[in-house]
Chains A and B, each alone.
Chain A
Amino acid sequence: MDLSLLLDPYILTEVLVQGSVRGAMYALMAAGLSLIFGIMGVNNFSHGELFMLGTYVMFFVTVILGWPWPLGIALAAAVLFFFGMFLERTLIDTLRRKAGRDWVLDAFILTIGMLVVMQNLALISFGSERRGVTGLISGVLVWGPVIVSYERLMILGVASAVGLALWAFIRFSSLGKAIRAASQNPEAAQTLGINIRSIYTITFGIGAGLAGLAGGLLISIYPAYPTVGFEPVIKSLACVILGGLGNVPGAILAAMLLGIIEAYSAFFMSAGWQNVITAGLVVLILIVRPSGLFSSSKVERA
């Protein structure tokens, strides 16, 4: 560990940007996971596989079809949004109606099953090789001692814009208000004419769309291969727990924090340490603050 590097502004900003890009990816994943958990009570273990499908959509659109990359990212999000709604309506909704009261525990097993099926279908269909897309945008921004590639800026920009749009949607649109109402008191929401089934389907679609978007956006860092979703889902689950279960802004904050901490620990210690640090942090915070860093009672608006 060479602490004299702490004084080098170039290295510090480089690591900060690297961490923020990671954090942005965790944030997109964690926001969807947290939204789904907050509203449906379901922990979607197959979220990483939705990310994986996003990477394949991105690869297919930009490399096989040769279409421009912004279209690839948009399609990764759109395809996964509809696929997510399809999964919810055919599998989770069916389970909820048949299993009755204890369906949440059954849903736990169901999403693990979805993980295994999607991962293996991808393996059979596409093989195990890694298919990446590099250099979506070339060039770097030089600003004093700070050098940042345009691609990273684009990733950060898109992730922030999407995060903001999600927040505004949940906060101000009438559908967003219905989603919040359904999470705070589903029975009462129903008496007001809100269709909980549709809310669940749309919520899952949004979560899946965010995972797809993350997959498309980060294709140059996480290429398409069947098990690429493992690391993102583990890390974003950690963020959901750190942020307070079901607390979307908390999860996003935790994601950025985790990304940056990981980047610094990888740089100043060694790459192997970053997962230890993540897991250690989760255990530590769960002991000190079992309801998460930003428990819902403190953050008033989810």
Chain B
Amino acid sequence: MGLEVKNIVAGYTREVPILNGVNLVAKDGQVTVILGPNGAGKSTLLKTIYGYLTPQAGEVFHDGKRIENLKPNQMLREGIAYLLQGHSIFPRMTVEENLELGGWIMRDDEKRMKAALQQVYERFPRLKEKRSFLAGILSGGEQRMLEIARLTMTEPRTILLDEPSVGLMPSLVDEVYEEIRKLKEARYTILMVDQNVRKSMSIADYVYALALGENRYEGPKAEMEQRLDDIVREWI
């Protein structure tokens, strides 16, 4: 099932659409990567899928259900989590409060909340150690871990990642991709936008390349890896 985008046209103003009919499928349990030069509409596509932008035309299906008219705050209930580009922790709240807010939609289910916290703390012992610290004083890498951990609190089926390694120091980048690999092993459906072409290709199953808001190339990882040089050369 997974996530399916059909002929999406969207933009910030009606007159200037950024996406001109993009088609895409993120298959269940796979990592699908979207590549493309700056301005290709990669982040805009994720924002449109998540309801920050209302498409002028086209459809989005998640596990067979049409979702293009839903609002961002309804998406997690549909089983879709979203890692925003840049910082998305709440800096003046504790690590644990941040995680609890990740479970906001199940706040009345104390048992489930406790179990989810327990699971996160087992996977990220460092977050457990620092659970009563304010999230804002964690290191950059720890903040990213917290953001990734928070995504999984409600066990969504699909995760959208917008530039997960951007702005991190090189030594932390590998750690982030290691975490994404773990999410893949846990069979989450992942749709990822990334400028770090080689790193993201290494964990991808299927790759799309966008250009000027349209589909340019697509194919399974092995096939796209061979054509990668041509694809990247086109951007320059």
Give residues in A with beta carbon < 8 Å to B.
174, 177-178, 180-181, 184-185, 187-196, 296, 300-302
Contact = CB atoms under 8 A, between A and B. Distances in A.
B1 interface: no
Nearest to A180: B93
B92 A190 contact: no
B74 interface: yes
Contacts, number: 67
Q: How large is the interface on B (under 10, 10 to 19, 20 to 34, 35 or more residues)?
A: 20 to 34
B84 interface: yes
B72 interface: yes
Contacts of A301: 92
Contacts of B91: 184
Contacts of B213: none
Contacts of A174: 100, 104, 107
B104 A184 contact: no
3 A-B pairs with least C-beta separation: A188-B88, A193-B105, A193-B76
Nearest to B150: A192
Nearest to A182: B90
Interface in B63-77: 71-77
A194 B104 contact: yes
Nearest to A191: B82
Interface of A is mostly: helix
A177 B92 contact: no
21 contacts: A174-B104, A181-B90, A181-B101, A185-B88, A185-B89, A188-B84, A188-B90, A189-B101, A190-B72, A190-B73, A191-B50, A191-B73, A192-B102, A193-B73, A193-B76, A194-B104, A196-B73, A300-B92, A300-B134, A301-B92, A302-B92
B87 interface: yes
Nearest to B91: A184
Nearest to B51: A190
Interface in B38-87: 50, 71-77, 81-82, 84, 87
B98 to A, nearest CB: 8
B28 interface: no
A189 B73 CA distance: 8
A181 B99 CA distance: 11
Contacts of A300: 92, 134
Contact of B76 (A181, A185, A187, A191): A191
B100 A177 contact: yes
Contacts of A192: 76, 101-102, 104-105, 150
A185 B90 contact: yes
B4 interface: no
B100 to A, nearest CB: 7
Contacts of B90: 180-181, 184-185, 188-189
Nearest to A174: B107
Interface string B94-134: 00010011101101000000000000000000000000001
Given A184-B93, A196-B73, A300-B134, A191 B104 contact: no
A187 B88 contact: yes
Given A191-B76, A191-B82, A195-B71, 20 more contacts: A177-B93, A177-B100, A178-B104, A181-B93, A181-B101, A184-B92, A184-B93, A188-B90, A190-B72, A190-B73, A191-B50, A191-B73, A191-B88, A192-B104, A193-B73, A193-B74, A193-B75, A194-B73, A300-B92, A300-B134
